[in-house]
Amino acid sequence: MENHLNLILGLPKVTVREFTMLEDGICLKIKLTNLGTHCPSCKNFTTEINQNRPILVRDLPCFDKVTYLQVPRRQFYCRHCQKYFTEKLPWIEWKRRHTLRYEKNVFERVKSSNIATVALVEGLSYDEVQGIFNHRASNIAEQQWLGVSRISLDEIAMRKGHKNYKAVLCDLDKKKLIEVIDGRTQDCLISKLSEVPLQVTKAVKEVSVDMWHGFPKVIEEIFPNAQIVTDRFHVMKPLIEELKKIAKSSGVKEQKKLSLVWKNRIDLNNEERTELENLLSSSTSKRFKAAYEYKEKFREIYETSKTVLEGKKRFEEWLQKAPKIYGKVIQTISDHLPTICNYFISHSTSGTMEGINNKIKLIKRQGYGFTNFENFRLPLLSAFSSDSL
């Protein structure tokens, strides 16, 4: 019977000595089969046990019953370096009271559900489940930066209209969130990102941002080898907003018709194109017609330019012709032209942030409002990780 229990338990260098029934489940008293271990200080192998104080550890359920393991906690003495040390086991982390596989299981279930539900099912307190989740999530957060070379730096508002902004960074290649920062000021970003190892930040070759003036200083200080790219979406946004204003002042107020104006012409179906042409031809506003065509020419530069020099030349020509139509927007684009043209290096956009932001909104709703920032940050990072460390 013990051999069968050993197979079911599936832990290395462990044998089941006996089991007892508990009121809420079962307890397996285990024995460690290795006679000794290596000293963490001098690596000398020792079998001299100084003391043994068993601990009770929660494991995955066995036969649908809550399962505990009575685990020997052996303290060894190393005569070579004359130090005492407690043996570390590969299937339970130091000072934890749950097996590693149990904590992974709880972590994955919280990711797909919520802390309160898992706590109820497992018979644990809310704080205990949150502690397990945060512990595993912290391990994942430390790994998010591995292999990152192109990132997007953006912001989200915790509550619309309250200016409570958090900075978010995502990996453009892997399309996943890599960090959330409590604030978006230069000092806040520099302070937090300075914690990232230097060899990691030096490996970042490109950072995509919006047109907030504070980002370049942060990037120059933290990511010394990175090209700054003003994101295409954020460049087009003020252009389209100005086009909407021009359209409304020209009498185009219906939302359906406005959507035809700001959408890319190439993305319209035949019916929508016909409706758009009728809208433009029937309008008496020359500025509205010109504004629309200039918007399309601007988009075309993005779509067809192959190099930074080509894109820069074509944008400069566009800027010389469009001032009377787009006013202040021209100055904004001119101020950011060098980083706008860096788009043509690898044609990167932070369009992936749209999907990430939608997932962030869903997690915010599931959390019913987060009073603790870390309890907001860790579920976010975990949601975008495929690893359960």
CA nearest neighbour of 181 among 389, 376, 384, 385 = 376
**The pLDDT of residue 380:** 83
**Tell me: the pLDDT tens digits for 134-193?**
888 887 777 788 889 999 998 887 766 556 788 999 998 888 889 999 988 999 999 999
**The pLDDT of residue 140:** 77
Whole-number average pLDDT of the chain:
89
**The pLDDT of residue 159:** 67
Q: In the predicted model, what is the mean pLDDT of residues 312-338?
A: 94
**pLDDT range class, residue 389, cuts 50, 70, 90:** very low
Q: How far apart are CA 209 and CA 211, in angstroms?
A: 7
End-to-end alpha carbon distance in the chain? 33
All structural domains of the chain with their residue ranges: 1-96, 150-231+351-383, 232-346
- Is 351 strand, coil or helix? coil
Question: Percentage of the chain surpassing pLDDT 90?
Answer: 63
Measured CA distances, 230 to 110, 130, 341, 348, 386 (Å): 37, 38, 8, 10, 29
**pLDDT range class, residue 351, cuts 50, 70, 90:** low
**Tell me: the pLDDT tens digits for 251-283?**
988 998 889 998 998 999 999 999 999 999 998
**Tell me: the pLDDT tens digits for 205-240?**
999 999 988 899 999 999 999 999 999 999 999 999
Fold of 150-231+351-383: Nucleotidyltransferase; domain 5 (3.30.420)
**Tell me: the pLDDT tens digits for 21-53?**
988 899 999 999 999 999 999 999 999 999 999
pTM exceeds 0.75 for this model: no
Q: Give the burial class of 29: count Cβ atoms within 10 A of its Cβ; 0-12 exposed, 13-18 middle, 19 or more buried.
A: middle
Whether the CB-CB separation of 15 and 5 falls below 8 Å is answered with no
**Tell me: the pLDDT tens digits for 102-128?**
999 999 898 888 889 999 999 999 999
Residues 6 or more apart in contact with residue 196 via CB below 8 angstroms? 145, 222
Question: Percentage of the chain surpassing pLDDT 70?
Answer: 94
**The pLDDT of residue 301:** 97
**The pLDDT of residue 91:** 96
